[in-house]
Amino acid sequence: MEVDSNKNLGSESVGSETLAETVHVPVMPDEVVEWMTGHSPQVIVDGTYGGGGHSALLVKKLPPGEGVVIGLDRDPLVSERVDSEQHDPRLTVFLGSYEKIPKALEAMEITKADAILLDVGLSSDQLADANRGFSFNADGPLDLRFDPENGDPASDWLAWKKEDEIANAIYQYGEERCSRRIAREIVMRRRKENPVKTVNDLVEICRRCVPTSKNHNIHPATRTFQALRIVVNDELGIMERTIKASPDWLSPGGRLVVISFHSLEDRIVKNAFRDDERWNVLTKKPLRPTDDEIRRNPRSRSAKLRVAELR
């Protein structure tokens, strides 16, 4: 499926690197299909296309020869993979953030969607790419951008931000208690003209600053990397704006399904659904993956799924 200028909703260019076949496993696939298609939608939007697993399941649920699934993803390498694969003609994928859903609908000459999915977790394909810096188990540039063609990598952000700004971001978005100690070490390296540039640079700082937890088997860099990823991609800002505006993009009775992976994201979804009278909340408590799914796909263990329907 060709990704050309009219399918580019937010990036300046598409990268030239060849991407291997996806290794991403869709989270809570049965639950997504059930809640996304139970009201027989004709226009489905997968705002976080990733490896295409959810979209592939959803397009199969459309009536034969009817309906469309519209995918969006910020990652140019996802667009390259889509370009090289064969898909059901009812599936169209755009390059851009899920905040660009209205532009995708407009490009398809569609006024409203019947169901929108936002799976806001990090894809396994991104974790597997050492050049992106998402995994602290492999050294590489400390980038952390979903779209490497736009914005500043995390290493640049750390190179010019003040110590208190770094500490506050790590605490606010990573809920890391040792944020001030980590920020101090980052700035000290910068002053010695040895700034943090790579994954290992930051991992070593976190190892020194974060004491080993007796109760949780969590890598000392986990919360810091999460925080920096959120910052450089404006993840929570985009998520808040999208959920707030999404009733305008849905037809009456349309559904918004959101899968989140940490408390900051889930709180945004919960509050947005609760505080907007246009929503009828269908999941009073978030749905969680089954024990069987967690055994098969350990990365699903922290997922929470919430659903609301437009009144």
Q: Is 54 annotated as a binding residue?
A: yes
- CB neighbours (10 Å) of residue 83? 15
Residue 197 one-letter amino acid:
K
CA neighbor of 173 nearest in space, from 94, 308, 268: 268
Q: How many residues does the chain have?
A: 311
Provide the 3-class DSSP secondary structure of residue 55: helix
What does the alpha-carbon distance between residue 311 and residue 309 come to, in Å, rounded to a whole number? 6
What does the alpha-carbon distance between residue 230 and residue 169 come to, in Å, rounded to a whole number? 9
Residue 58 is inside which H or E element, if any?
Answer: helix 53-60
- Tracing tokens 């408590």 back to the chain, one arrives at 285
- Tracing tokens 């040895």 back to the chain, one arrives at 194
Chain-centre distance of CA 11, in angstroms? 16
**Do strands 250-260 and 113-119 pair parallel, antiparallel, or not at all (unpaired)?**
parallel
CA neighbor of 71 nearest in space, from 53, 51, 92: 92
Q: Is 140 annotated as a binding residue?
A: no
Distances (CA, A) of 281 to 82, 116, 241, 271: 34, 15, 18, 11
Q: Is 119 annotated as a binding residue?
A: yes
**Do strands 304-310 and 91-95 pair parallel, antiparallel, or not at all (unpaired)?**
unpaired
Cβ(27)–Cβ(53) under 8 Å? no
What does the alpha-carbon distance between residue 193 and residue 301 come to, in Å, rounded to a whole number? 40
Q: Is 275 annotated as a binding residue?
A: no
Question: Which residues lie across from 44 on neighbouring strands?
Answer: 69, 115
Chain-centre distance of CA 119, in angstroms? 6
Residues flagged as binding site for S-adenosyl-L-methionine: 52-54, 73, 98, 119, 126
Residues flagged as binding site: 52-54, 73, 98, 119, 126
